[in-house]
Amino acid sequence: MFEPTTSSELDTLPKTSVVDYKKNLHRRRILIELYRSGTSSIAELARVIHSSVPSVTSIVEEMVEEKWIVPVGTGVTKQGRKPVLFSLSTERYYVLVLDVNTHDTKVLVMNLKNEVVFRRDLDMKLEDSSKFLGALIEATEDVINESNIRHDDFMAMGISVAGLVDARKGFNFTYRSLNQGEQSFGTLLERHFKFPVYVINDTKATTLGEHRFGLAQGKDHVLAIYIDWGVGLGVILNGEVFQGASGFAGELGHIQVVPNGELCHCGKVGCLDTITSAASLLRRIKKGLNDGRISRLSGMDIEKIDAEIIIDAAWQGDSFAIDILHEIGMELGKGLSIAIHLFNPEIIIVDGIVAKAGAFITNPIEQAINKYCLTDFRSNLNVVISQLGQEAKWLGTQAYVVEKVIENN
C-alpha cells in the first residue's frame, strides 16, 4: 500500500532529522491504514508499513496518549496470546462534510470511523451567486453550533460540489461567483472557519468513496458514472483517482453526441448531458405526456413529476417510463464506449439518482457497450449499480479530507 522511503529523501536530511522523519512517516502510514481498514493489530500495522513491531508499538502508544488511537478489543488467533486491536478514536477530530448540489445542500459531521454523528438537510440549491456563499457560511455556522462539538475538535471541512473544480486551489470554474477575484471558494471558507477546507468535484468524491469503501475496493482500473442532474465520469487509473492537469478530467457529459441537438447549460450544443441526465429524463417524459403518450403518469400534475416518480413508474411496469430509461441507457452506453476504449476498465459503477432504476438503466448500457466496443475490451467488464448510493459521495469527501490532513501533518 505504501512506497518505501527512498535513500535520496533521507540523504537530504541532517542525521538528527532522519529518525524524526521516518517516525512521522510511520505515524502517517499507521493513521491511513487504520482509517481505511477500521481496526488492526500492531503486528499487522508493522507488516503493512514495513517497520518493526517495537517501533510500531512505541508510535501506537504515543498516539493513544494523544487520543488519535484507542484499543478496541482483541483479535482472533489460532494459538498464543490474542492480539490487541486498535482503531482511530471517535472522541476527537471530526470532519464537516458539505454535499452542495443543484437540488439541496446537506451538512454532516463525521468522525474518523466514517460515522455520521450530526446531519442537517438544507433547502439550499447551488447557485452561481455570492449570496449563496454567504448563506452557506451562515447555515454551516448554525450546524456547528447545533452539533455541540467544540470548534477545536474539527480537523477540517470537505465540500463536494458540482462543476469544474480545481481541488488543489479550491476554485470552482463553473460557479465562478463562489470565488472572489484571486480568492478561491475554498480559501474564503478556510479564512472564515479557521481550519483547513478541501473542495472536490462531486463525481470525483463519489469515485473516491467507491474506491476506498465500495465496489471499486482493491481495483486499479475503474470507471464510475454519476448520473444526476448532469453526467460525470470518475476514472481510477492504477489505483488512484485521475484528476487531469487542472482537476477537470472526466467531464463525459460534455462530449458532443448530437451535432444539431439541444443547447446545453454549458453553452455548447448536443452534449451527452442533454440526452442522458436526470434533467433530460424529466424533459423527455414531460414532452411525451404533453404529446399524448399513454402512461400511469398521465393523470399526475406534470410539474410535480420528478426523476424518482418516473423510476418508480418503471418499476411498476409503466412502458413509457421504461422506454425512456432504455433510450437514455443506450446513449450512456454509447458515450461510455469511448471511455472504455481509452481507459480499459475492469468495472463500471453506476451511481446518482438515475442509478435507482437498476436494471432498467444498466441493461441498455450493457447492450450499447456490446454494440459499440471491441470484443476484447468488454469480455471481462462488469457494469454494476453502486451499493453505497449517496453515501459514496460523503465517504469520498471524508476520505479526501482525512487523507489530505494526515498527509500534510
- Residue 305 CA to residue 311 CA, distance in Å, equals 11
The DSSP letter of residue 96 is E
Q: Domain 216-387 is of which CATH architecture?
A: 2-Layer Sandwich (3.30)
DSSP 350: E
- Domain layout of the chain by residue ranges: 7-88, 94-205+393-407, 216-387
Burial category of 20 from C-beta neighbours within 10 Å (exposed 0-12, middle 13-18, buried 19 and up): exposed
CA dist 330 and 301 (Å) reads 28
DSSP letter (8 states) at residue 389: T
Q: pTM for this one? A: 0.88
pLDDT tens digit string along 227-257? 988 899 999 999 999 999 888 999 999 999 9
Helices (H), 87-199: 130-147, 185-193
The band of 16, judged by pLDDT with boundaries at 50, 70 and 90, is low
Fold identical between 94-205+393-407 and 216-387? yes
| H runs (alpha helix) in 116-255 | 130-147, 185-193, 202-213
Would the pLDDT of 388 be above 70?
yes
Q: What is the pLDDT of residues 355-376, one digit of tens each?
A: 999 999 999 999 999 999 999 9
Distance CA 89, CA 112 (A): 7
pLDDT more than 70, % of the chain: 96
Q: Is the pLDDT of residue 125 over 90?
A: yes
Kindly tell me the burial class for residue 324, based on how many C-beta atoms sit within 10 Å of its own C-beta (0-12, 13-18, 19 or more).
buried
Task: Count other Cβ atoms within 10 Å, centred on residue 146.
Answer: 12
Superfamily classification of domain 94-205+393-407 = ATPase, nucleotide binding domain (3.30.420.40)
Q: In this structure, what DSSP letter does residue 174 have?
A: S
Query: If DSSP codes are grouped into helix, strand and coil, which group holds residue 261?
Result: coil
Residue with cell 444539431: 260
For the domain spanning 7-88, the CATH number is 1.10.10.10
DSSP 30-49: HHHHHHHHS-EEHHHHHHHH
